[in-house]
Amino acid sequence: MPTLVLVMILATAAFSYWSAARAAAERAEALGRDACRAAGVQWLDQTVHATGLRLRRQDTGRLGWERSFRFDYSLDGLDRHVGRMVLHGDRLVSFSGPLSPAPARLN
């Protein structure tokens, strides 16, 4: 009986980790897609790739996962550039990638 309980606890922990990782990847996809749309560039491959994972303290002092992602975009369809972002939980803490076009000058 104790073995069954231990297996159930481990399965629940694994599912929770997988679910949180999937939610973070979906959030990163939305952020990358929106950034590319705002900058007027093409978002390539329609996905993000997880590149890093580490434990880090949240503002509340509790430990949480910080996940790094990369994505590719193109300015004109012929080139390829790499964008990167870091999510701490579901909060974006770092982003490098396409920039929005400069606002028009008002005369």
Q: Where are the domains of the chain?
A: 2-96
Using the predicted structure, report yes or no on whether residue 71 has a pLDDT greater than 90: yes
Residue 78's closest CA among 27, 53, 42?
Answer: 42
Q: pTM, whole model, 2 decimals?
A: 0.81
Query: Order of strands across the sheet with 42-57?
Result: 42-57, 63-74, 81-88, 91-96
pLDDT digits (tens, 9 = 90+) for 25-58: 999 999 999 999 989 999 998 889 999 999 998 8
